[in-house]
Amino acid sequence: MCGIVGYVGERNAAPIIVEGLKCLEYRGYDSFGLAVADGTATDGGGKLTVVKKQGRISDAGSDVSLACGNIGIGHTRWATHGVPSDVNAHPHTDCTGDIAVVHNGIIENYAELKKTLIAEGHVFKSETDTEVIAHLLEKFRNAAAEKGLSGIEKVDFAVKNLMDTLEGSFALLILIRGFNGLIAIKRFSPLVLGIGDDELFASSDMTPILEHTQKILFLEDNDYAYLMPDGIRLFGYPSAKTVERDVKTVDWDVESAKKGGYEYFMEKEIFEQPAVFVNSFRQKIDDGAVSVLKKASSITVVACGSSYHAGLIFRYLMEKYCKIPVRVEIASEFLNFTTAKGTVVIAVTQSGETADTLAALRHAKANGCPVFAVTNVLGSSVTRIADYVLYTRAGPEISVAATKSFIAQCAVLLRIVSIIGKGIFEKELFEIYPVLEETLLFDPADASAVCKDAENIFYVGRGVYYPISLEGALKMKEITYIHAEGCAAGELKHGPFSLLTPKTPVVAVCTKDDAYPVMISNIKEMKARGAPVIAIGSGGDADLKEIADIFIPLPRSKNICEVISATIILQMIAYNTAVLLGRDVDKPRNLAKSVTVI
Ligand code: F6R
C-alpha cells in the first residue's frame, strides 16, 4: 500500500502535494517524492522537476522548494519491490526524464516487461515494478510518433497500450513534460478525484482533498482520466469512450476519511482482507527459495503472538497435505532447543523487528540452517538476517491488533503449501475473493451481545481450527480485556471443563471437515455443562444450527476457504465486542505494535 496525490490548477503544486502526502502517510512512509511540471508549455517544451528521498514526507524540509509549477504528482511509499532508498522512491521516470509516474499497487508481470524493455535498450535505475510503466509509456509514445500521432492522440495511444500491457493492480498518476495536465488511471487500487474551483485533485483517498473541496468523483476500475486546467476528461477502458461518474459531496472530517469512514483502523483493516489475501497469495515465489523448500526434510517456524498462530496453521496444512514434518516454536523459547542441520527455519513476523523472533532466527542461522523470513516490511531487520524473504502484501497495519497482516501471513504460508503440494488449493484460493467479501457481510451483533457480559470465554476447534481458536481468543482478550482462552476441543475435558458454567460462552469452530463428527460430540458435552455455544460452521449445517445457541454459517465454499472465512468472523466478533465495551480498539492498553525488546 502506498499513497499518491496529484494537483492541477493555478497554485504552486508542490506545497499542496506535500500537505496531501502528510495525510496519506498512514498508507506508507518509508520514502516520498514528487514531480512538478510547468503546465504552460506545449508538446516538447516545459520543465519537469523530480524530488525524491528515503524517509518521511514530514522530514522533507526545503528539498521540495526546488519544484515549481502548477501541475504535480506525489507519492508516499510502503516498499514492495526494492528496499526503501532514494532511487526506489517514486516518481519513476523514463530514459528521457520526460515522463514521471507514481503508482500504488503491484505490477504482476513487471519482471517479463523489464527484461523486454532492457533488451530494447531502456536503462533502468531502480529495482521497482513501477519503473516499467515510465519506460512503457516512452516506448508507446515513440510508436505513436512513428505513426504520425501528436498531442492528445499520442497520449491516448500510449495510455491504451499501457493498459493493454500491464497486469496486476494499479492506481497511477502520470506527468508528461509538455502535456498540459496529468493522467490518472485506476485498476484494482483506489483512486479518487476532487473538483475544486478552477483546480483538480487526485488521490488514493479523499483525505488530502477535503481541505480544498468536498466534491469527490470516485473512479471505477479501468477508468482513466485527463485532468486538464479546463476540466476532467474521463474514459473507460477498453472502449476508450467517455464515461460519466457521479460527483458526490462528502462532509467527512479528515480523521474519519483516513479510516475510510470506518470507526477504527482495525475495522478498516478487517475489510481490506479480501484484497490483501489475494495479493499475498498470488505472488510468485523466487525459484531459489522454492528449491530450498522442496528439499527440506523438516521445517521449523519461529514467531510470536498472532504470527505464531499463522505458523501453527501452516503446520496442520503442511503435515497433512505435503507430509513434511513441521515444528512451530514460540520465538522467545526457541533458544532452549536444538535444530537439526538441514531443517529449514522460517521466521514469521509482520514487523520484521520483533526482538525474540530475530534472536531465534540468528540462533537457527548459527546452527547452519537455511533461514527464511515471512514479513510485511521490506528492508526490516529480519530481511537482513534471512537467506530468503517472502513478503506479505498487507500494507501498513495501523491497529495494534494484527488482522490483515495475519491473513496475509496465512496467504503466503498457504502459497508454500500449494507449491510444495503440487498446486493443491491453488484454484480455490485464486478464487477466494468473493467468498471473503461475502464473509464480511456477517453481523456480529448477537455473538458480541453474549461475549460482552462474559468474564471468561473459551474458543475451541480441532485440527487447523485449533490455532484459529487460539487466534480468535487472542483477538478477543487483547482488545476487549475479557479473559479468553483457546483450546484444542479434545483437551477441554482434561481440565478446563471444570470452568464451564452458563456464564462461560464457548465459541466453537466446527466446519464439515474430517473432525466434524467428533466436534459435534464435543459441542454437545459443553452444552451439557450449561455453557452457551456460539458455533461457526459450514453454511446450511442444520444439525449444528439445532445444537448451538447462536449459529454463524460461513459462506458456502471449499474447506480451505472456510479456514480464512472463520478467522475473519472471529476478528469481527472481537472487534464488535470491544466497540460495545467502549475500548480503545486501535490502541489496547499495555501493548505496542512492534515488540523490539526481549
Ligand atoms: C496480536 C499481535 C501480536 C503480534 C506479535 C508478533 O494481535 O499483533 O501478537 O503478532 O507481537 O509481531 P510480529 O509479527 O511483528 O513479529
pLDDT in tens, the chain (598 residues): 789 999 999 999 999 999 999 988 888 888 999 999 976 544 445 789 999 999 888 777 767 777 789 999 999 998 888 888 999 999 999 999 999 999 999 899 999 999 999 999 999 999 999 999 999 999 999 999 999 999 899 999 999 999 999 999 899 999 999 898 999 999 988 899 999 999 999 999 888 999 999 999 989 999 999 999 999 999 999 999 999 998 988 877 777 777 888 999 999 999 999 999 999 998 889 899 999 999 999 999 999 999 999 999 999 999 999 999 999 999 999 999 988 888 999 999 999 999 999 999 999 999 999 999 999 988 788 998 999 999 999 988 889 999 999 999 999 999 999 999 999 999 999 999 999 999 999 999 999 999 999 999 999 999 999 999 999 999 999 999 999 999 999 999 899 999 999 999 999 999 999 999 999 999 999 999 999 999 999 999 999 999 999 999 999 999 999 999 999 999 999 999 999 999 999 989 888 877 766 7
Contact 169, 279 (CB under 8 A): yes
Ligand 1 atom nearest the C-alpha of 351 is 15
- The best mutation among 314, 354, 381, 383 to test binding of ligand 1, ranked by most ligand atoms within 8 Å of the C-beta, falls on 354
- Which of 251, 274, 294 is the C-terminal boundary of a domain? 251
Contact 240, 160 (CB under 8 A): yes
Number of structural domains in the chain: 3
Residue 322 known to be catalytic:
no
Q: Are residues 392 and 507 in the same domain?
A: no
Ligand 1 atom nearest the C-alpha of 375 is 14
The CATH number of the domain holding residue 40 is: 3.60.20.10
- The single-letter code of the amino acid at 494 is H
CA–centroid distance, 78 to ligand 1, in Å, is: 19
d(CA 499, CA 521): 19
Ligand 1 atom nearest the C-alpha of 305 is 9
- The best mutation among 265, 307, 413 to test binding of ligand 1, ranked by most ligand atoms within 8 Å of the C-beta, falls on 307
* Domain span at 461: 441-585
pTM: 0.81
63: left (phi over 0), alpha (psi -120 to 50) or beta: alpha
For 388, residues 6+ apart whose C-beta sits below 8 A from its C-beta are 286, 288, 289, 292, 370, 371, 372, 373
- Which of 228, 251, 274 is the C-terminal boundary of a domain? 251
Ligand 1 atom nearest the C-alpha of 595 is 11
Residue 241 known to be catalytic:
no
Q: Are residues 329 and 406 in the same domain?
A: yes
CA atoms lying within 13 Å on the CB side of residue 152:
9
3-state secondary structure of 422: coil
Residue 528, domain member (yes or no): yes
Residue 370, preceding peptide bond in cis (omega within 30° of 0): no
Contact 255, 262 (CB under 8 A): no
Q: Which residues of 365-390 are buried (b: 16+ CB within 10 A; e: fewer)?
A: eeeebbbbbbbbbbbbbbbebbebbb
Catalytic residue among 2, 369, 410, 451: 2
Contact 187, 200 (CB under 8 A): no
- The best mutation among 351, 383, 480 to test binding of ligand 1, ranked by most ligand atoms within 8 Å of the C-beta, falls on 351
Please identify which residue in the block is written with the cell numbers 442444520.
542
- Residue nearest (by alpha carbon) to ligand 1 atom 4: 305
- Which of 186, 221, 251 is the C-terminal boundary of a domain? 251
Contact 580, 450 (CB under 8 A): no
Residue 307, domain member (yes or no): yes
Residue 543, domain member (yes or no): yes
**Strand arrangement of the beta sheet that strand 506-510 belongs to:** 483-488, 456-461, 506-510, 533-538, 550-554
d(CA 206, CA 192): 7
